[in-house]
Amino acid sequence: MKFNQTILSCLFLLIFSGSSFSQDTEAKQPFSWGMKVGVIAGTPIGPSEEGATGSPGIGLHIGVAGKYDISERWSVQGDVVYNQKKAKYKTPVRDQDYEYEQIFEFPDTTIIAIIPTYFNGEVEGEFYNHYLEVPLNANYKLSKRWYLTFGIYGSYLIKGSHQVIANGIVGDNFDTVENRSQDETEGLNKWDYGLNTGVRYQVGESLNCELRISSGMRSIFNDDYQLAEDTVRNLYLQLSFGYDLGILWGKLRS
């Protein structure tokens, strides 16, 4: 909770510190700025075992946006947003490398042996990742209210969580693993980048509604992460409402 409050405070500071860029709305200015808030839903995707299932997660999306009109039809837009990307999955695991800890007790001593073996069973996992994301988009005006938007994004994992719970058998019935939890957060990649596209509807002079889909171009896991040998990318759908604070500021000043 404290972490989310810090992020929100920083975003609102960015919003109000940008007031020096606002212009009087008596004449339309090429530059506009404002805030956006909404929800983001999706899941990391990649090659999976037969029988694997997953469920998209829904998180918060909030940030600031600045737009510059190049011509009557074209404009460019840059955002700074905070995204919560969540998801859950369940997958069968076959012959996964596993280090089994076995304890041997003797009258005078106790020996702990680490035995390399393998694991067969099922793993449930959950992602709860917080990204600071910067999309750069081109907007094309289709009609009076509809716009097509497309571009790229880069993001940084400011806080991540990947928790797994395993149930199965270690070795040849060597031992039974039941609800064994493990933190796999260290395997997450700090950086992500990709493509995004969508549409925006101009509801009124200051209010707009935007729907975007973004697809990562690199794995969310580090190259040396052994539990995911293939590329697993973020795929998320984002619905947001934006408000032009430059127009509001101009009205308040007039």
State the DSSP string of 166-220. EEEEETTTTEEEEEEEEE-GGGB-SEEEEEEEEEEEE-SSSEEEEEEEEEESS-S
Diameter over CA atoms, the chain: 90
The DSSP H or E segment spanning 42 is strand 31-45
Does the domain at residues 2-91+125-253 carry the CATH identifier 2.40.160.20? yes
CA dist., res. 212 & res. 86, Å (int): 17
CA dist., res. 139 & res. 150, Å (int): 7
* Two tokens, residue 42: 């999706």
pLDDT value at residue 16: 44
* Lowest-confidence pick of 65-69, 123-127, 224-228, 230-234: 224-228
pLDDT value at residue 159: 97
Inter-residue contact 187 to 181 (CB < 8 Å) = no
pLDDT value at residue 19: 40
CA dist., res. 222 & res. 47, Å (int): 16
* Two tokens, residue 197: 């596209």
SS3 call for 124: strand
CA dist., res. 176 & res. 170, Å (int): 6
pLDDT value at residue 253: 63
Model confidence pLDDT, tens digit, residues 82-119: 999 999 999 998 877 777 677 777 787 888 777 787 78
Percent of the chain beyond pLDDT 70? Answer: 85
Of 61, 62, 77, 60, the residue nearest 15 (C-alpha): 62
Q: Is 33 exposed, middle or buried (0-12, 13-18, 19+ CB in 10 A)?
A: buried
pTM: 0.81
pLDDT value at residue 170: 83
Model confidence pLDDT, tens digit, residues 37-74: 999 999 999 887 788 899 999 999 999 999 999 999 99
Domain ranges for the chain, please list them: 2-91+125-253
Of 158, 187, 162, 3, the residue nearest 81 (C-alpha): 158
Inter-residue contact 19 to 32 (CB < 8 Å) = no
Cα 217 to the center of its chain, rounded Å: 13
